[in-house]
Amino acid sequence: MTSGPGSEALPRRDPLGQILLRNGLLTEDQLSDALELQQRSGDRLGRILVSLGYVNQLAVARALAEQFGLPFRDLLADPPPAQVVQLLDEDTARRYRAVPVALDGGVVEVAVADPGDEAAMAAVAARLDRPVRWVVTGELDIYRTLERVYREIYLDRIRFDLLLRRPDQSAHETFTPRQLVTALTVLVALFVAVLLAGEPAEILVSVLVTVGYTILSAHRLYLMWRALSSTSGLEVTAEELAALDEKTLPEYTVLVPLYRETGILPTLLKALAALDYPASKLDIKLIFDEDDPETLTLARQLRPPGHFKFLVVPTGTPRTKPKALNYGLIQATGQYCVIYDAEDIPEPDQLKKAVVAFRKAPPEVVCLQARLSFYNRDQNLLTRWFTAEYAQWFDLTLPGLHATGGVIPLGGNSNHFITEKVRELGAWDPYNVTEDADLGVRLARAGYRTAMFDSTTYEEANSELANWVRQRSRWLKGWMQTWLVHMRKPGRLLSELGPWGFFSFQSIIGGTLFVALVNPVLWALTTIWFLGRWEEIPGLFPGPVFYLTAVSLYLGNFVFAYLYALGAALRGYHRVVLYGLLAPIYWLLISIAAWRAVFHLIFKPFHWEKTVHGLHLRTERVAR
């Protein structure tokens, strides 16, 4: 059938369900289940049937072709030429799920996934501005066709979009010339001062370090107080959840980057399948790397339902998680999107809570951060420390930042976004190996806000020391990248964040790095003094400086250890509280990872160190 802009609707025949029944692809009971879900969710029957796993998307496409009296075309078996596909711009093709597949004289043959979407077909015809002959194909066929035709364009987009749009906010350049000159000037000035002034210069350095520790400790105490004494997140009540009308729920994209995750993949698929959200409104994208066929093969063998989509990221540098997320974002169709990692088990109602929270939030809130915790917290000493650290971070520090309007560096997953706002910001920086914290800062700089909300995602605490050090080094290297990127123009950062936002950025991002790097030096001086009574050390801390340093040492360590213990207690992890009090030993490991991160920042800035997941499963198998 040929049409143009404003053409009449295509004639319908039998209902879709009846066609599938007649063709032996559906049972009466299955159709009844799907129709019941349709009454509740208001979604299209074909999407519901695919999400239930009763039929595949090609069967639905063939039935739609029969229903509307149109030809069916399998785009994977009969791929259209790239030059014909490009007659329609990529954005329009993706938005309306339609691609040109043939050109016959002046008539363009266009394959659509939903011939019942008259508005979409009219928009496509108007964009082409020529006669159109319609055929029907599967939705996945359209996406695969676009991936094939625009492969190189997509690869460039996921690597260079932010760099081209906002080079000042990209970590593609680790150190700017100005930063290198500034760092060198400070080091030379410090050396000259110590050389010429001797002890007074050393004392000044001691005072500055001590004051820095004192300010950081006071800030963390203040955040704790605000987290405990005020509303520190968007609360969603059981009554609000029960009152949700599923017909009003928007489509939700779930982005799950996977790389060498065969051990944990079955557990992940079960957790995602358990999400309490209409499956037909879920756009779950499992994102694989082209050079990891094992994980992709296993995913196909496990045969998840039809709302699980498989994306394969083309090989290319940098090889990072944010690059994979950018690829998933290109194809995201949800009004909202969320990131989950391979080992995550989110609370089943988290997406519904996020929808309610977004609806309650002020318009400037474009991101929600769920809390993170661990399901293997009692596996060993390292997992208990890790759990205490996460408890203070996600239950005290970040809620405190929420309550005070500070900049929230996002956690690695369970960040819920308004999808279009992520695209507006340039998505994730593929050159920053801790892309979440960086995006949180860029979001704040653009005038948007992140809010905490009361839902938890459980994940695996790293239980192996070498694996933990690699993971923590990557995180800290990314924080270093984030600090360097956003401090390229401090005046502009201050103007965009405001004084308090600027201070919170320096305290949380810069302060965390400062403490991790300086701690070993101070511990070494303290140890040397106790063991050898080296006479030079007391000279660095004369009179009032000594007392301020002593207060900073004991109070500062107490504050951070107390936060670890308090966070664990608030979570109800009472067996972890004691280990929180022993946190100073854990901080030594963090410092080792921090200095390793400095080395990697200089010599391997974009190298992504893979974290091995599923270690707790090995322990469970051995125990059995």
pLDDT tens per residue across span 571-592: 999 999 989 888 888 999 999 9
CATH of domain 158-624: 3.90.550.10
pLDDT above 60 (res 533): no
393 C-beta neighbours (distance < 10 Å), count: 18
Reported as a pLDDT band with limits 50, 70 and 90, residue 5 is very low
Reported as a pLDDT band with limits 50, 70 and 90, residue 231 is confident
State the pairing for strand pair 252-257/415-418. unpaired
Q: Do 564 and 392 touch, CB atoms closer than 8 A?
A: yes
The mean pLDDT value for 411-430 works out to: 96
- Three state DSSP letters for 439-450: HHHHHHHCCCEE
Please report how many Cα atoms fall inside a 13 Å half-sphere around the Cα of residue 305, on the Cβ side.
Answer: 22
| Measured distance CA(196)–CA(414) in Å, rounded | 53
Residue from 168, 190, 338 nearest 256 by CA = 338
Cis peptide before 71 (omega within 30 of 0): no
Question: What's the mean per-residue pLDDT of the chain?
Answer: 91
Cα separations (Å) of 523 from 432, 515, 545? 31, 11, 17
pLDDT tens per residue across span 481-491: 999 999 999 99
Q: What is the amino acid identity at position 124?
A: V
307 C-beta neighbours (distance < 10 Å), count: 23
**What pLDDT was estimated at residue 623?**
46
The mean pLDDT value for 396-416 works out to: 94
Range from 23-37, 65-79, 135-149, 545-559 carrying the lowest mean pLDDT:
545-559
Range from 86-90, 375-379, 614-618 carrying the lowest mean pLDDT:
614-618
**What pLDDT was estimated at residue 394?**
96
Range from 74-78, 515-519, 549-553 carrying the lowest mean pLDDT:
549-553
**What pLDDT was estimated at residue 523?**
78
Residue with tokens 């369970």: 414
| Measured distance CA(420)–CA(337) in Å, rounded | 9
Q: Do 280 and 51 touch, CB atoms closer than 8 A?
A: yes
**What pLDDT was estimated at residue 557?**
77
* Domain boundaries for CATH 3.90.550.10 within the chain: 158-624
**What pLDDT was estimated at residue 9?**
54
Two tokens at 331?
A: 């194809």
**What pLDDT was estimated at residue 521?**
82
Residue from 399, 396, 389, 485 nearest 437 by CA = 485
**If you write DSSP's letter for every residue of 19-74 in order, what string do you get?**
HHHHTTS--HHHHHHHHHHHHHH---HHHHHHHHTSS-HHHHHHHHHHHHT--B--
- Provide the percentage of residues in the chain whose pLDDT is more than 90: 78
Fold that domain 2-149 belongs to in CATH: GMP Synthetase; Chain A, domain 3 (3.30.300)
Two tokens at 564?
A: 């670890």
Cα separations (Å) of 167 from 164, 321, 403? 6, 20, 32
Q: Do 396 and 565 touch, CB atoms closer than 8 A?
A: no
The mean pLDDT value for 30-58 works out to: 93
The mean pLDDT value for 319-331 works out to: 95
* Domain boundaries for CATH 3.30.300.160 within the chain: 2-149
Q: Do 264 and 299 touch, CB atoms closer than 8 A?
A: no
Q: Do 125 and 134 touch, CB atoms closer than 8 A?
A: no
What's the pTM value of the predicted model, to 2 decimals?
0.93
Residue from 329, 342, 325 nearest 270 by CA = 342
**What pLDDT was estimated at residue 540?**
62
Range from 315-319, 325-329, 346-350, 421-425 carrying the lowest mean pLDDT:
315-319
**What pLDDT was estimated at residue 555?**
74
Please report how many Cα atoms fall inside a 13 Å half-sphere around the Cα of residue 205, on the Cβ side.
Answer: 18
Q: Do 409 and 399 touch, CB atoms closer than 8 A?
A: no
